[in-house]
Amino acid sequence: MLPELKPNDYIVLGDLMKQYPREFYTDVTNFYISQMYEYIDTGRIFRSGVMGPTREGKSEIVSSLCFLYVKRFNENIEKGTYLKNAQIKTIFDNEGIKLKKLKFTVDYVYSSTLAYAEKQRERAKDNNMIFGQCHQIDEDRKTGGGLGSMTAQIENQNINNISAKFMQTEFYITPDHMITKNAPYGLRVYKKDLVNRINYSLLYKIEMNNRGGADFKFMGWVGIPLHPHKGFRVKYNELKDSWILTEIKGGIDERAKTRYSIAEELSKSKMFLMNEKGRFDFSRPERLAYFEQQIIKGVYPNFNEVEKIRIVEHATLLKKQEMVEGE
């Protein structure tokens, strides 16, 4: 089914129509969904981006795709598809990852790539990674380039590599760009059909070129109906509102919050004990070395050198504040 276009739409899309006259009048919804199903059936990660202006239906499209994904995945579980695949089965035998039917809830919706990476790291640490889980990452909010931003990007890439091994499928919502890394297809949201409750997007095939960039080929229209899960929609809107409220109140970035929470934990460890004279039992270099040991053991995520020092200093200050307030 193709969207009903008005004269102004043909003006906006005129160049696209001239360059791709056949594709412009082609409905490729079944093709796009079948491609996603092929990735699901063969145990491969399906990563895709949905871009477009705010309030144009990007979130609804991604949520609907996630519900379609989960339905297909659970059908494969019932058929024993993954246990019959010898290569995939070794993951469950050797890696301790869980294989079970999926649920798509707001627990798998994230406010940013960093929030997603932090949650995945926590799940891996607690052995709570579920094979094939589908994630919705909302990148509408721009993140700043503060302390540790470059380290965060590297760590996020490492998380993505690990997630790919365990088929952690990801849909990214972006306002002004289309993700390209390991993403075979991308959607550009264009039009809402409020009568038929369908969101229409332009589908692009993404190919990485030998210059390190990406080439985009327009393939046609994709129409995704609104999902029927009203309870999820209510909870998602509440979650989105909480993100907005945090921003209005001047919320800080996730990495700064992570540094603070780790500093709180460190301040309670024996390495940060103080004597009656207000002096630490262990020197500052020893406290820093202890923190690095914990990172090596996998207790805490990795940080750059400046961040490590900042965290230990913050833990030190928290311990001193505790002592002063206790007097």
Say if 258 falls within a structural domain.
Answer: yes
Of 219, 248, 277, which residue is a domain's last? 248
Same domain, 269 and 305: yes
* CA 46 – CA 62 distance, rounded (Å): 13
Same domain, 20 and 40: yes
Say if 262 falls within a structural domain.
Answer: yes
Of 248, 274, 306, which residue is a domain's last? 248
Taking phi first (over 0 means left), then psi (-120 to 50 degrees means alpha), and beta for anything else, what does residue 170 get? beta
Count of structural domains within the chain: 2
Q: Is the pLDDT of residue 261 over 80?
A: yes
Total-model pTM: 0.77
Say if 136 falls within a structural domain.
Answer: yes
Of 213, 248, 283, which residue is a domain's last? 248
* CA 281 – CA 287 distance, rounded (Å): 10
* CA 258 – CA 216 distance, rounded (Å): 37
Say if 2 falls within a structural domain.
Answer: no
Q: Output the DSSP codes for 29-88.
A: HHHHHHHHHHHHHTT---EEEEE--TTSSHHHHHHHHHHHHHHHHHHHHHHTTTTT-HHH
Same domain, 212 and 104: yes
Cα torsion 30, 36, 40, 43: sign: positive
Look up residue 98 and give its DSSP letter.
Answer: B
pLDDT tens-digit readout, 225-259: 999 999 999 999 999 888 877 666 655 567 787 88
Question: 90 to each of 93, 131, 161, 197, how far by Cα in Å?
Answer: 5, 12, 18, 43
Same domain, 41 and 56: yes
* CA 183 – CA 213 distance, rounded (Å): 13
Q: Among the listed ranges 187-191, 283-287, 302-306, 310-314, which one has the minimum average pLDDT value?
A: 302-306
Question: 314 to each of 161, 254, 265, 281, 310, how far by Cα in Å?
Answer: 31, 17, 11, 17, 6
**Higher-confidence residue: 174 or 224?**
224
Same domain, 192 and 306: no
Same domain, 139 and 16: yes
Say if 107 falls within a structural domain.
Answer: yes
Same domain, 202 and 318: no
Say if 1 falls within a structural domain.
Answer: no
- Closest by CA to 68, choosing from 60, 57, 80, is 60
What is the reported pLDDT for 148? 45
Q: Output the DSSP codes for 245-308.
A: HHHHTTPPPHHHHHHHHHHHHHHTSGGG-B-TTS-BSS-HHHHHHHHHHHHHTTSS----HHHH
Same domain, 121 and 181: yes
Length of the chain, in residues: 327
Mean pLDDT for the stretch of residues 166-175: 90
Q: Is the pLDDT of residue 48 over 90?
A: yes
Domain with 260 in it = 254-326
